[in-house]
Structure 1
Amino acid sequence: MQRYSRIAIFLHWAIAALLAFQIAVGWALEDLGARGFALFQLHKSIGISILLLTLARIAVRYWKPRPAPAERGWQGALAKAVHAGLYLFMLGAPLTGWALVSTAKVKVPTLIFGTIPLPHLPLPMGAHELAEGGHSLIVWIGIALFALHVAGALRHHFLMGDGLLWRMIPARSPVLLAALPALIAVGFVLGRVVLPEPAPQVAVAPVTLAAVEKEAPANVAEAMDNAANAAAPAEADNAMAAEEPVGPPPSWAVQPGGTIGFSVGNSGETISGGFSKWTAKIAMDPDHPDSADIRVEIDLASASVGDSYKDGMLAGDEFFGVAAHPKAVFTAKGAEKTGANSYRAAGTLTLKGVSKPQSIRFTLSGTGKARKVSGSAIIARAPFGVGNGESSTGLDPKVAVSFGFSAQAE
């Protein structure tokens, strides 16, 4: 039986294994958080590799002689249609993926295997939804064609007994007959093995900049002015209470399940996310808020907006610069009462190596040793160098932050 050329055989099995890997990874990629960023880059690199290998396979198809068709009639026509569809799949899936990345609102640079830069295609932003839908559709059609191709080959080789698979094996060896098709299974298994554990879900309470601005002034100076004017009666009450001896404030242990979320406008839309890892040390007597001692540390690598490549951008130097500055820290000594259960704390926020005055507002509910805390703040991102590149031009200058948790007095 006439075989395909060795180079055609190599390209056939290499592309098949890479396609199996891509399918395995692609199914899970959208559910990953920041930890899926590197895998997303690998997915793009392998996609471009499949595109190049497919172009090479087409060239070889017309350069080297091919075996004659195994069937005629409608079965032969169906086999040709499946083959043609597979080539469209192997070309169309990488191209639509490339178009999808090129038209995304957040432009993520692509380095093929971390070394070769891949330029974005000159496509309008309005083509993003078309590229996204086309990529998904082509992939699902490709999976169906992939299954038909495998089923047809097995039918010929084992049910019809014509030894069709030997045409894609470089030598008549039972070992190669088993090993080469097994590469497809190996590719799929590797695609599942390399998947990181899904990032923990971040439960973020809805927060908008307008809602936070309605509750809180945008800077500490304004907060102090408002406190002096609007909260004068409360201050008088506090002054009278301060005359009484006050012991050290109780420490509060933050209970599991708390959230810190953020929201920022982006070209008319809103990007919302949160941090899944953070700690807080709080000492405060609600009746004597001036005794408060607050310190909150946020693991910036845990930031997520629910999109793997955007999460990867958050960790980069354009946004949080996690490699050099892994944590953001807010500290405050003392707070002031602004209402029955409302407080304001003026402190310092340290982010990306920059420390600036920052105020937060919060309310307490509950009594005794169990309290619930909810609050908000508005942070100007420019002074901290957050969003300092071309992909950030559409972002609003202020970010709304909200937080909520339960605390137990120790």
Structure 2
Amino acid sequence: MADSPVASYSKTQIWLHWSIAALILVQFLAHDGMEHVWRSLRRGQEAAAGDWPLAYMHVVLGLAVLALATWRLWLRGTRGVPPVSGLEHPALRLLAQTTHFAIYALIFVVPISGAAAWFLQLPGAGLVHVVGKNVLLYLVLLHIAGALVQHFVLKTDVLRQMLAFRQA
């Protein structure tokens, strides 16, 4: 872990945050091709030709999330992150820490379980992938709500820090 707290997120940390968020959003919205191919393969049927490119895109983007998340976690451990505002109730601080931990865990578990399902043909891993994806969706919504509360209710700069693409 970094020795002393940093004043702000680095440009790379901000870029990684939003890149991972964008990739996950694409994965949520464009997963039909993968579902169709997976279902066909599980039934011993041939998948539609038009679904294969979307399935491969899903695999590639999932592996990209995993790679970027690894980089992001390494940066968090070596560079650190800005301290919390200290304005929130301890229960809210615990909720934020728990939510962050769970999101980090799921941005690893979801792609790993998806890769295990796809490459090793493990239906159980596919179930973990789908359940993890759904839990991740709700945690991301909670994360967004927390950022908005920080910004509009507590009047902290937490949201501005993650939007400050021009900082050093």
Q: CA deviation at 1:31?
A: 4.3
**RMSD over aligned Cα, in angstroms?**
2.1
Question: How far did residue 156 of structure 1 move?
Answer: 1.1
Residue-by-residue CA offset, 1:57-92 (whole Å, 9 max, x unaligned): 000001113111233511000000100111111101
Contact 2:103 2:140 in 1 (8 A): yes
Instruction: Give the aligned partner of residue 69 of structure 1.
Output: 84
Tell me how far apart the structure 2 counterparts of residues 42 and 172 of structure 1 sit (CA, whole Å): 31
Distance 1:47 1:172, change over 3 A: closer
Establish whether residue 17 from structure 1 lines up as the match of residue 32 from structure 2. no
Partner amino acid for 1:11? L
Q: Does 1:93 align with 2:110?
A: yes
CA contact (8 A) 1:2 1:67 kept: yes
Correspondence list, 1:172-211, <5 A:
none
Q: Greater Rg, structure 1 or structure 2?
A: 1
From 125, 128, 144, the counterpart of 1:134: 128
Encode CA deviations 1:172-192: one digit per residue, 9 max, x unaligned. Answer: 79xxxxxxxxxxxxxxxxxxx
- C-alpha distance in structure 2 between counterparts of 1:44 and 1:145, whole Å: 22
Q: Partner amino acid for 1:8? A: Q
Q: What is the rounded CA distance, in whole Å, between the counterparts of 2:73 and 2:97 in structure 1?
A: 14
- Structure 2 residues without counterparts, runs of 5 or longer: 1-5, 38-47
Task: Write the distance in 1 (CA, Å) between the matches of 2:9 and 2:125.
Answer: 35
Per-residue deviation, 1:16: 0.6
Matches within 5 A, 1:12-161: 12-26=17-31, 29-31=34-36, 33-70=48-85, 71=88, 73-104=90-121, 128-161=122-155
Name the one with the larger strand percent: 1
User: Are the equivalent residues in 2 in contact too, given 1:166–1:172 (CA < 8 A)?
Assistant: no
TM-score if structure 1 supplies the norm length?
0.35
2:7 maps to: 2
Residues 11 and 165 in structure 2, CA contact (< 8 A), matched pair in contact too: no
Matches within 5 A, 1:295-334: none
Compare the two structures and name the one with the higher helix fraction.
2
2:144 is the counterpart of 1:164: no
Q: Please, what TM-score do these two structures have when normalized by structure 2?
A: 0.81
Following the alignment from structure 2 to structure 1, what is the Cα–Cα distance between the partners of residues 165 and 127?
42
CA distance in 2, matches of 1:137, 1:18: 18
Deviation at residue 28 of structure 1 after TM alignment: 6.0
Which string of whole-angstrom CA distances, capped at 9 and with x for unpartnered residues, describes residues 18-73 of structure 1?
Answer: 11001101256424732110111011001000000000000000111311123351
The CA distance in 1 between the partners of 2:58 and 2:74, in whole Å, is 25
Change (3 A) 1:72 1:7: farther
Give the direction of change, closer, same or farther, for the CA distance of 1:42–1:75 in structure 2 (3 Å limit): same
Query: Is the 8 Å Cα contact of residues 18 and 50 (structure 1) preserved in structure 2?
Result: yes
Counterpart-to-counterpart distance in 1, 2:77 and 2:51: 39
AA paired with 1:131? A
Between the aligned partners of 1:171 and 1:130, the Cα distance in structure 2 is: 40
Which segment drifts farther, 158-167 or 138-147?
158-167
Using a 3 Å threshold, how does the CA distance of structure 1 residues 69 and 14 change in structure 2: closer, same or farther?
same
